[in-house]
Amino acid sequence: FAKNKIYTYIGEILVSVNPYRDLQLYTEKYIADYRNRERYERPPHIYWVADTAHKTLARFGQDTCILISGESGSGKTEASKVILQYLAHNAAFGAGAAPAGSRQSRSIDRQRVRAQVDRVAEILIQSTSLLEAYGNAQTTRNDNSSRFGKYMDIMFDFKGDPAGGSMRNYLLEKSRVVHQQAGERNFHIFYQMLAGLPETERKRLGLPQGSLRDFAYLVQGGCAALGKEDAANFRKVTQAMDSVQFSSDEKDSCLRVTAAVMLLGNMEYEADPEDRSNSSVRVKSSCRQAVAQLAGLLRVPPDGLVKALTSRRIVTASDSVDKAYDLPQATYARDALAKAIYDRLFNFVFEKVNSALAAAGHFDSDGDKRRAIGILDIYGFEIFEINSFEQFCINYCNERLQQLFIELILKQEQEEYEREGIQWE
């Protein structure tokens, strides 16, 4: 590690240590060095993993899967991006074979396939900025920690070119929307919007020009300053939305809903003076204007929004009745609404990426010739002072993955030692 050798092999597993700096290990020269090479021909590198997966698929027609596991901050998300970069560059390196026909028709067909391959590769790379904005956050261990799990299926045609793909997300850490631990931030997109939106857009969305302290949901962890790269990253997000073919209405919807979640955290309650028992609440009079703004962003009637924030409907077999919330219940309902809205927004963004991949894909009439490389990237093992249910699930998942590695790899090594009569403990 002191000599910048951050990779080593244990059987089929590549072990890496995060250097927390750019070592220039992912240039085009390195891509060329590892293309179509056997493991013993080059020093350990993540490009060997990506190249082996691609060769297995292209030569033997076998689906392959790359599992990325490790503790928080170990570099899993960067590893998945490096693998995508390699596969996209490999596609750009080799143009697919054209079917039989005239020289002109072969040339036209090759150009068409080349354009489709480039488009799929572009979406895979560009979507990373978009998904990181909505699904990543700064933690005490990692400035760009994935707070969701992601599984990608990259489909390839019989020539080995990317032909489409799909993604699935798991266990978004919704609790981060309303609460962050000391020294941590909420999801990146909130800060990127505040740093990158023009003043006219902020006014239209009802976002005040003050500090982060104007937004209760953004300062739970005590981080009250925007990051240096938030504005630049917001520009990348808007470019990624264009690349994934968000319509202008869809982009506006994402901004409106994200702004609504920020404003929802500022909703405060007071005792309802008409309730003599003081057991029910109403939205504070100082928040009435914010309620109107919030209802406009969510495209719902203000009265309906207030009712949803201050009461619930109890349905029985024969009747239904509205029951007012007390203060703890109203606060819980507000936070639950914010988490549910953000979760649906995140799923919408994921579906847009999948739709773009499906639209950009090209497939042969013979579906049996399609093969896939799967990439699993889940957020890492971590123990907080207060652990969310999602973190508990992801820690369990990481433990199971570790057991899988032990079963598949270490036992293989031990069996090989036994066959060769090598003593081991």
- State the catalytic residue, choosing from 16, 69, 129, 142: 142
Question: Does residue 96 carry a catalytic annotation?
Answer: no
Question: Does residue 200 carry a catalytic annotation?
Answer: no
80 is in an annotated binding site: no
Which one, of 57, 60, 32, 68, lies nearest residue 47 by Cα? 32
140 is in an annotated binding site: no
- State the catalytic residue, choosing from 129, 380, 390, 398: 380
- State the catalytic residue, choosing from 146, 258, 280, 354: 146
Task: Enumerate residues 6+ apart whose C-beta is below 8 A from 183.
Answer: 140, 221, 222, 223
Question: Does residue 102 carry a catalytic annotation?
Answer: no
From CA 219, how far away is CA 138, in angstroms rounded?
A: 12
- State the catalytic residue, choosing from 52, 72, 258, 310: 72
71 is in an annotated binding site: yes
Please tell me the total number of residues recorded for the chain in this structure: 425
Question: Does residue 127 carry a catalytic annotation?
Answer: no
367 is in an annotated binding site: no
- State the catalytic residue, choosing from 265, 382, 390, 398: 382
- State the catalytic residue, choosing from 69, 77, 127, 139: 77
Is residue 93 within 8 A of residue 327, CB to CB? The reply is: no
- State the catalytic residue, choosing from 90, 136, 139, 145: 145
Which one, of 380, 281, 277, 263, lies nearest residue 328 by Cα? 281
The torsion angles phi and psi of 301, rounded to 5 degrees, stand at: -65, 140
150 is in an annotated binding site: no
From CA 323, how far away is CA 336, in angstroms rounded?
A: 17
Question: Does residue 146 carry a catalytic annotation?
Answer: yes
From CA 64, how far away is CA 87, in angstroms rounded?
A: 13
77 is in an annotated binding site: yes
- State the catalytic residue, choosing from 18, 56, 73, 122: 73
Per-residue exposure over 282-319, b if at least 16 CB sit within 10 Å of its own CB, e if not: bbeeebeebbebbbbbbeeebeebbeebbbeeeeeeee
From CA 420, how far away is CA 287, in angstroms rounded?
A: 75
Question: Does residue 72 carry a catalytic annotation?
Answer: yes
Residue ranges for the known binding site for ATP are 70-77
| Residues that are catalytic | 72-73, 77, 142, 145-146, 380, 382
Residue ranges for the known binding site are 70-77
